[in-house]
Structure 1
Amino acid sequence: MTTDIYRRVEADPAYQQLTQRRGRFALTLSFITLLSYYAFMALVAFAPQSLHATIFEGGTLTIGVPMGVTLILGSWLLTGWYVRKANTEFDQLTQSLVERHQ
């Protein structure tokens, strides 16, 4: 009996739309995160002198530190965006699918 329910849900266009939207959104956020990290690593590897500049005259804090912090915080924000969207929009679509196939 349970395989019959799985087949019906998988055949439902709303389920296919949900998985497609969720997958596309996760892939987009993953691409943004990976691109940011790899761009930063490429900058460190191929142009390290660009990160040596200090923020303030006579200071010791270089431009690379806030860039790294921004990268990490940006990843956290993207994760928060995914969690928020998953807990609102995607969960509502999932709940409507569950109610329709009970």
Structure 2
Amino acid sequence: MQETETATPGVVDYVKIQQTPKFQALRKKQRSFVFPMAIFFLVWYFAFVLLGAFAHDFMATPVFGNINVGLLLGLMQFVTTFAITMWYVRFANRSLDEDAAELRGDLEAIERGEAQA
């Protein structure tokens, strides 16, 4: 009986797929956006928390009426969260989705037994 190295339909070697140049390029593209944006947001968030904890006078500075700097910065946390989400969706739609769909197609072909991993 002779053994062959063809893939069994339905079996995908995901570790092997992760090592392919196509997957590595997709992951690099995704990380090139996510990591800098996460660092930016964490710095912005902790700056807000630290200002609230240690710069009471600054945060209590009135801007207009009963609205102070602390309230505006707190509201900006929500604004930046939604803005980052919108930027990521636009980035993913323009830069990631086509490559991800191609990779998904490759994986589905392997699962159907039409291609090798």
If asked which structure has higher relative contact order (CA below 8 Å, sep 6+), I would say 2
Unmatched 5+ residue regions in structure 2? Answer: 1-7, 110-117
Shift of 1:12: 2.1
User: Is 2:100 the partner of 1:91?
Assistant: no
Tell me the distance in 2 between the aligned counterparts of 1:93 and 1:82.
16
Tell me the distance in 1 between the aligned counterparts of 2:17 and 2:104.
9
Shift of 1:7: 5.0
User: Is 2:74 the partner of 1:68?
Assistant: yes
The 8 Å contact of residues 9 and 97 in structure 1, kept in 2 or not, is answered as no
Shift of 1:17: 1.0
Of 76, 83, 92, the residue aligned with 1:77 is 83
Higher share of residues assigned strand: 2
Rg larger for: 2
Of 60, 63, 80, the residue aligned with 1:55 is 63
Tell me the distance in 1 between the aligned counterparts of 2:81 and 2:41.
6
Number of residues paired by the alignment?
99
* TM-score (ref. length: structure 1): 0.80
- Partner SS for 1:3: coil
Unmatched 5+ residue regions in structure 1? Answer: none
Higher share of residues assigned helix: 1
Shift of 1:70: 1.5
* TM-score (ref. length: structure 2): 0.71
| Identical residues among aligned pairs (%) | 27
Shift of 1:8: 5.1
Change beyond 3 A, Cα 1:46–1:7 = closer
